[in-house]
Structure 1
Amino acid sequence: MTKATLLLATLSTLVYPSAAISTAQPGCPSSCGGLTIPYPFGIGTGCFRDGFEITCQMSKITTNKNYVPVPTLAGTTVQVLNLSLGVAEVMVQLPIGWQCYNQSGVEAYYTAEVDFNPKSVYRISNTHNLFVVIGCNSLAYIESQRDSNGLYSYDYYTGCVSFCNDSSSITEGACSGVGCCQVTIPSGLTDNSVIFDGYSHDRILSFSPCSYAFLVDKC
């Protein structure tokens, strides 16, 4: 999982009294898993503004096999890590897309698709986030906002290509096109899925059998 920042697209058009910035609606849960839930976010009927619902669900922590409350964007499995009304941002944990190969070609893959914006509340921040691809001979891109009328199936595409001559050509900690590449993203993304394309892995299976791609906060 990776941390990414979402912008609250409609929050700037709403005006709240100062007390509402850090408190829940009266009679509503004020936190989940240690995270404070301020209005317009809320848990339960009557506790949130349309589009700002948070679900507090029990989830197993694999390290100790205990169940703990985890805040998620309602209708998704996207975990909420932080809510900041002052700067109109939400930090969430997004899945990582991957594709693995064998001698016959693609063996398995996962597109890490997320759609958390049915109410037009959220945008993926282009100022905070990058799209990163890790792996050798790896071409990956994200697609966002399906468009049935345009030349392409989606309004937005962006990605990059990473190559390696051999395992020794990779520099640890570097992400400049050899074993890893990164690219800024356009503004306006409201959903995301990862697509892998292109290159044979026959000659690199011994040191790069899988490719990974994800949106991540620049920190």
Structure 2
Amino acid sequence: MAVNHLHLLLLQIIILLVWAIKFKASEASCQTSCGKVQINYPFGIGAGCFFNEWFEITCNISSSTPSGQPFLTKMKLKLAEDTAAMSFGIGVEMPAISLKNPSTGINRTGSPFFFTNKHNSFIATGCKKYAKIDITDESGSTTGGCLTISACDPLKGKKEGCYDFICPVPSNTTFDYGIVSKLNSTISQYCKTAFILDQNWVMTNYVNDPTVLRKTEYQKAAPAILEYGTRQCIQNSPPVCN
């Protein structure tokens, strides 16, 4: 089993090297930025500039965005302007999940992308009560706890909900309403919106101002890190990946 895994890993490395060689040959003609976002291989704009269809970037130019607005083409996700270029992933504007509308979210099934606790956090906002929330996986084992933050004056904001939960990102294949019910039923019952957020963004923006996710520009989407490559997984059932 270990030998087969090693062969598969070597094959993946060879494929990446071949693509890297091909990319170097055409790199001079590849667009390296769109708007304020730097585009690095394996992501790319135009034929021959990206690893495969999952890594293709579309640069949409319009009268309102003359310098371009980049999107991860297949996932239909806008790239985040305020995240740095990375060798392990890419910053995207992750749609917020309305906890009153179970149809919202995205599906990563079949893609090479994933979320980990190392680079992202799960946040539920607009919660109507203070509570201790424990994260459990599908086997029922506790994998971590949530930090509760008061984001407004509870005496003035009872109708909206003044509490937020910051939680570890659970192991899963989608980001939709289902993830919330897997975390804890209390979250979906008492909160308004859920996000997966870039931890650096959380530390530099949210921690300094817990009301930031209530601002208009972040109510529909906020920065998160889509990672790719080899995950380090603890072989539980299901695996817990970091």
Calculate the TM-score normalised by the size of structure 1: 0.54
Q: Deviations over 1:37-92 (max 9, x none)?
A: 223221123321113111112468xxxxx23421111123311235635x422111
For residue 162 of structure 1, report the CA deviation from its aligned partner: 7.2
Identity of aligned residues (%): 26
Question: Structure 1 residues 167, 39: CA separation in 2 closer, same or farther (over 3 Å shift)?
Answer: closer
For residue 33 of structure 1, report the CA deviation from its aligned partner: 1.1
1:1-219 aligned at under 5 Å gives the runs: 13=13, 14-15=16-17, 16=20, 25-50=27-52, 51-58=54-61, 66-68=64-66, 69-81=68-80, 82=83, 84-85=85-86, 87-99=87-99, 108-109=100-101, 111-116=103-108, 118=110, 120-134=111-125, 135-137=127-129, 167-168=154-155, 179-187=163-171, 189-195=172-178, 211-219=192-200
AA of the residue aligned to 2:199: K
Aligned partner of residue 31 in structure 2, secondary structure: coil
Q: Distance in 1 between matches of 2:85 and 2:129?
A: 39
For residue 131 of structure 1, report the CA deviation from its aligned partner: 0.8
Question: Structure 1 residues 169, 70: CA separation in 2 closer, same or farther (over 3 Å shift)?
Answer: same
AA of the residue aligned to 1:55: T
For residue 130 of structure 1, report the CA deviation from its aligned partner: 1.1
Q: Distance in 2 between matches of 1:39 and 1:158?
A: 35
Question: Structure 1 residues 67, 115: CA separation in 2 closer, same or farther (over 3 Å shift)?
Answer: same
Q: Which residue of 2 aligns with 1:174?
A: none
Q: Distance in 1 between matches of 2:149 and 2:129?
A: 4
Aligned partner of residue 49 in structure 1, secondary structure: coil
Unaligned runs of 5+ in 1: 1-11, 61-65, 100-107, 143-149, 152-156, 171-177, 200-207
Unaligned runs of 5+ in 2: 1-11, 201-242
Question: Structure 1 residues 214, 158: CA separation in 2 closer, same or farther (over 3 Å shift)?
Answer: farther
Q: Distance in 2 between matches of 1:53 and 1:38?
A: 11
Question: Structure 1 residues 163, 123: CA separation in 2 closer, same or farther (over 3 Å shift)?
Answer: closer
Aligned partner of residue 155 in structure 2, secondary structure: helix
Q: Deviations over 1:88-129 (max 9, x none)?
A: 221111111124xxxxxxxx52654113564x3211132111
Q: Distance in 1 between matches of 2:65 and 2:147?
A: 40
The answer (yes or no) to whether the contact 2:96–2:105 under 8 Å persists in 1 is no
Question: Structure 1 residues 33, 163: CA separation in 2 closer, same or farther (over 3 Å shift)?
Answer: closer
Q: Distance in 1 between matches of 2:26 and 2:109?
A: 22
